Amino acid sequence: MLGDVIAEADQALAVLLKTKVIGNAAIAITFDPPNRPWSQALTGPAVNLFLYDIKENSARREVMYEKVLGDNGVVVATRPPPARFDLHYTVTAWAPKILVEHKILAAALRCFGPMTVLPREVLPAALAELPYEVLVHIESGAKRSMFINMGGDLKAGFEITVTVPMPALPDLPAAPPVRQATVAVNPVPGADPARTAAGRETVSVAPSASATPAPAAEK
């Protein structure tokens, strides 16, 4: 399931860059490890989004189950809350000329800079149908040393984090509503029989508030 979520996040990022940044320009969008064999095989400009880390976002972890209501407003199931994972990407531009790289990188940066949520229209159906947003933001911390040197080349770039919800487990059917309950009380062992006696009481649930009220008596 996590693999599907990663592929869906990749797809959303590719659609976003294609529609908001690249358009009809002959610029490839890749997710390959940007090593030397890969860079030497390039035949034109490219934007590379390399997924380098995956962690659960514990700050957004929820513990309360969601209530699933039926058509009559009665709880028919409970839904476990989804886990959310941070997908960390490094974004770099590759082209024969450094000025072209800078222009591509600047356009990508302008796209991601003000964005906090991926637009619903770029999400694949599996993510778009979930009642949760897919978050995105640019990392502000220091870069990891492994990305200063890519395939033997020093590269400028920036890092983004995409927070995706993991599809929840299937809904858990709720127990049928209680209509009547019986409470039995037994004497404590060793108690005086003359002072204690077994008790039994049946409690019925009051009619629903939506039931039609009885007509008022005429005065």
What digits encode the pLDDT tens for the residues 132-181?
Answer: 899 999 987 555 544 555 666 678 889 999 999 886 655 556 666 666 66
Question: If pLDDT is split at 50, 70 and 90, which confidence band does 30 have?
Answer: very high
Give me the domains of the chain, ranges plus CATH numbers: 2-173 (3.30.2000)
- Contacts for 47 with CB less than 8 Å, ≥ 6 apart: 17, 21, 22, 27, 28, 29, 30, 91, 92, 93, 94, 104, 108
Among 63-77, 110-124, 155-169, 188-202, which is the least confidently predicted range?
A: 188-202
Question: Looking at the whole model, is its pTM more than 0.75?
Answer: no
pLDDT tens digits for 101-118?
999 999 999 999 999 999
In 18-83, DSSP assigns E strands to 28-30, 46-56, 66-69, 75-79
CA 35 to chain centre: 30
Among 27-36, 66-75, 121-130, 189-198, which is the least confidently predicted range?
A: 189-198
Angle 3-83-65 from CA coordinates, rounded to 5°: 135
Are 163 and 135 within 8 A, CB to CB? Answer: yes
